[in-house]
Amino acid sequence: MKRVLIRADASFSIGHGHIMRTFVLAKEYEQKGFEVSFATLNLEGNLNKKILDNKFGLYNLNTKNIQELIYLIKKQNIDILIIDNYEIDYKSEKSIKEKTNVKIVCLDDTYEKHYCDVLINHNISANEKKYKNLVPKNCKLKCGSKYTLLREEFYKYKNKKIKKSDEKKRVFVAIGGTDHSNINIDILKVLELFENLKVYIVTTSANKNLKQLKEYCKNKDFINLYIDTKKIAKLMAKSDFAVVSASVILNEVYFMQLPFIAIKTANNQKEIYKYLNKKKYLTIRSFNKKILREYIEELIRG
């Protein structure tokens, strides 16, 4: 049996996006008969339990040293290495290739230089031409929404109408599993200014600000707080519009054809923010109460 190793991390500061999108690849390779494992640093706020719950192998790395990863690849006879990690650069990838001859698949969304066999940029903003001098000539490029990494649930609920029991507008809110920018409550305070809204806000148990968020949501009938939910696609299908970070979740909202407001919450979202802004989508460079309120009014008016 051929073996796939995914090198990605999750934590309070990194967020969960890298692990969550590689989960889609992990499932695809598993269905093809590959044995799939993850190699991660044991960081605070990681998703190691989720990896194990999904019955994937897990190797906890002790360091960021590339030699430890090379040793693991050789010891476990890895055939394909998937890298979704900003700290592993071109030089490290080249070293891995030369010392193991493993097939390397890199995920990238910031147009960095890579030494790999396949490069995936699944963001809706991805531009294949930008990689002309950034990857080897024989590298296979998979760029754009055609290659968006989506869980099966999204295909199930795409274009599926879910009837409402009232006339309220439904708002889907997702600012990353860890909400490292800590703006969930700020967004809810703006939404609270409007009547006849129902809010579905999703987060995870790794959110450092979860206690405050729970306290804020308590006794507010218009807010439904979902923690570690597996019903993201269903919630999107029930919603009229979304307020999300300009991150991985944006690709899912776009696929579901759900009107949205995208807030840039991290530097690695710069490219997708620029693309959305250029295409005249509703974007916010960083949280701004006044602008958010104006955009919500616009979406409610339709």
Cα 85–92–136 angle (5° rounding)? 90
Does residue 135 carry a pLDDT above 90? yes
Q: Which tokens sit at 232?
A: 């993201």
Kindly report, residue by residue over 48-76, the tens digit of the pLDDT.
999 999 999 999 999 999 999 999 999 99
Active site residue 114: no
Mean pLDDT across the stretch 11-15?
84
Say what the pLDDT of residue 234 is. Answer: 95
pLDDT of 167 reads 83
Please write the tens of the pLDDT for every residue from 72-105. Answer: 999 999 999 999 999 999 999 999 999 999 999 9
Confidence tier at 236 by pLDDT (50, 70, 90): very high
DSSP the chain: --EEEEEE--BTTTBSHHHHHHHHHHHHHHHTT-EEEEEEE--TT--HHHHHHTT-EEEEES-S-HHHHHHHHHHTT-SEEEEE-TTS-HHHHHHHHHHH--EEEEE-SS------SEEEE-STT--GGGGTTTS-TTPEEEESGGG----HHHHHHTT-----SSSPEEEEEE--SS-TT--HHHHHHHHTTSSSEEEEEEE-TT-TTHHHHHHHHTT-TTEEEEES-S-HHHHHHH-SEEEEESSHHHHHHHHTT--EEEE--SGGGHHHHHHHHHTT-EEESS--HHHHHHHHHHHHH-
Catalytic residue among 18, 114, 122, 180: 18
- What strands, in cross-sheet order, belong to the sheet with 241-245? 223-227, 197-203, 169-174, 241-245, 260-263, 282-284
Q: What is the mean pLDDT of residues 126-139?
A: 95
